[in-house]
């Protein structure tokens, strides 16, 4: 089943907000509609399985791990009409024109990723993809301190907030990250 026109959908938010679950939900619906689906993920995201996107809640969907965004072209099936890209913030800048070209070709492109890094600042390609998308869904998690809606990702090092100048990319899950609200998100600058 071919789409009449392309579309870019971005699912973003903090860690533990359900981004991958939402992407997988959309992919399952596309599969039920007999659409040809392919999923790509950065090879550095090996938290659960190398050839699957897996949510923290345990949902999974087959995926192709790639090092650079341009590898999408090498693996793209000509019959694919729905392309999903998980953890897009980890890809190089080439991901933006690739997503645009796929949509221009009439594909439905679903992009999931963190909109901000552990410092609370825009993360990689995500701000541009959000601006260029036809649809953006920003999900919230639950603050691990107060239980209010959380929009930030708190990185912890030995149980303490990571410092502002610590490395931006460190792949991990609940052992080193928490969802936090604006009030409880801390990033020491000393």
Residues designated catalytic: 87
State how beta strands 149-150 and 141-142 pair: antiparallel
Q: What length is written for the chain?
A: 190
- The residue with tokens 């603050």 is 143
What gap in Å lies between CA 164 and CA 12, rounded to an integer?
A: 22
What gap in Å lies between CA 6 and CA 105, rounded to an integer?
A: 6
Please check whether residue 166 is in contact with residue 160, taking contact to mean a CB–CB distance below 8 angstroms: no
Please check whether residue 141 is in contact with residue 15, taking contact to mean a CB–CB distance below 8 angstroms: yes
State how beta strands 7-13 and 108-114 pair: parallel
Please check whether residue 11 is in contact with residue 111, taking contact to mean a CB–CB distance below 8 angstroms: yes
Neighbours of 79 (CB within 10 A): 9
Distances (CA, A) of 62 to 17, 38, 51: 21, 8, 6
């Amino acid at each position: 089943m071919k789409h009449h026109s392309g579309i870019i959908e971005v699912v973003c938010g903090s860690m533990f907000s359900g981004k991958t679950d939402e992407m997988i939900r959309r992919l399952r619906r596309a599969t039920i509609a007999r659409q040809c689906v392919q999923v790509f993920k950065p090879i550095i995201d090996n938290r659960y399985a190398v050839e699957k996107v897996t949510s923290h809640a345990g949902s999974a969907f087959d995926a192709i791990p790639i090092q650079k965004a341009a590898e999408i072209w090498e693996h793209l099936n000509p019959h694919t009409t729905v392309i999903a890209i998980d953890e897009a913030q980890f890809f190089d800048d080439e991901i933006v024109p690739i997503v645009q070209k796929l949509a221009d070709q009439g594909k439905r492109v679903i992009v999931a990723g963190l909109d901000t890094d552990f410092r609370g600042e825009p993360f990689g390609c995500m701000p541009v993809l959000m601006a260029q998308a036809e649809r953006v869904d920003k999900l919230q998690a639950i603050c691990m301190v107060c239980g209010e809606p959380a929009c930030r990702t708190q990185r912890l090092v030995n149980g303490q907030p990571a410092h502002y100048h610590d490395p931006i990319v460190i792949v991990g899950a609940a052992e080193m990250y928490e969802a936090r609200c604006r009030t409880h998100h801390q990033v020491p600058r000393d």
